[in-house]
Amino acid sequence: MQASEAQRATQAAISSASWLGLTAHDATVLHNSNTLTLRLRPCDVLARVAPAAQQCAQLEVDVAQRLAEVGSPVAALESPQVFVRGDYVVTFWPYYEPVTTRSLSNAEYVGALERLHAGMRRVDLPTPHFTDRVSEAQTLVADHARTPDLADPDRVFLASTLDRLRRAVTESGRPEQLLHGEPHPGNLLLTQTGPLFIDFETCCRGPIEFDLAHAPDEVGDHYPNVDRRLLRDCRTLALAMITAWRWDRDDQFPDGHQLGIEWLNQLRGKISAQSG
């Protein structure tokens, strides 16, 4: 969010916290992207604030609540209520002091993700399909007005790659289930109570290999009973999707344009190596 947006979002969080009876005189920005993540003090609660027009806050809260009920390794809710304040929605979560004395091991990561997936198989909620996210990337690539700097040969390459890999994954025949959507290291906290997953706004249905494509390679390589070919396709598909988003004229990702160029080159290298 831009500075003016972040200021309004922060005020929405403080106002909502007050309604809950929480004392919040100070807000520290922990993460700023499409969602603003704030640590509120002195109540020491985490607030997530998103534009109302672009949010999936209710889905995120519902998924987190259901997963917590079945004992999955997820961050708890401070409140199950989704607050709407003007153009923003606000949700509240406990603040977990991160463990900084050691790193998360690959075995811990794999174990946490296995337990998360097991819990997700017990949760029945209407969620998007992973192909909905692929479609968003495809629509972006096809829209010259939204991606004016994407050269025509790159546009054709990205479009064909997204289409081919989408079909490869959907036609794999692998069982599908509820997924986190983006279980990368930024969405896994190492806390005093163990590793906990956060940020469920990208939840979707699909094969577990789609989730593993967003985790470190070492995690996917050690996760049991994985279709290795499908995992390779999902990793390439995930790279194609994030590459497409970096060409959005409204993208605010730091160094996004440069990353778009670098990831296009990586994508071409991956496909060339797989074809060779």
Q: Contact, 84 vs 43, CB < 8 A?
A: no
Question: Would the pLDDT of 1 be above 80?
Answer: no
Q: What pLDDT is attached to residue 54?
A: 65
d(CA 140, CA 261): 16
147-162 as b/e: b if 16+ CB within 10 A: beebeeebbebbbebb
Q: Contact, 95 vs 45, CB < 8 A?
A: yes
Question: Would the pLDDT of 14 be above 70?
Answer: yes
Query: The tokens of 131 are what?
Result: 């192909």
Mean pLDDT score, 267-271: 94
Task: Spell out the long-range contacts of 119-125 with Cβ–Cβ below 8 A and sequence spacing 24 or more.
Answer: 119/67, 119/70, 119/71, 119/72, 119/74, 120/67, 120/72, 120/177, 120/178, 120/179, 120/180, 121/177, 121/178, 122/70, 123/63, 123/66, 123/67, 123/70, 123/178, 125/59, 125/62, 125/63, 125/66, 125/178
Q: How many CB atoms neighbour CB 193 within 10 A?
A: 11
d(CA 106, CA 81): 34
Question: Would the pLDDT of 52 be above 90?
Answer: no
Q: What is the pTM of this model?
A: 0.91
Check residues 159 and 199 and name the one with the higher pLDDT. 159
Lowest mean pLDDT among 138-152, 202-216, 246-260: 246-260
Lowest mean pLDDT among 46-55, 96-105, 128-137: 46-55
Question: Would the pLDDT of 41 be above 70?
Answer: yes
Q: What pLDDT is attached to residue 102?
A: 87
Query: The tokens of 3 are what?
Result: 């500075």
Q: Which residues pair with 37 in a beta bridge?
A: 31, 48
Which domains, from first to last, does the chain contain? 3-94 (3.30.200.20), 106-273 (3.90.1200.10)
Q: From 259, 254, 114, 105, select the one nearest 180 (Cα to Cα).
A: 114
State the burial class of residue 131 (Cβ atoms within 10 Å of its Cβ: 0-12, 13-18, 19+): middle
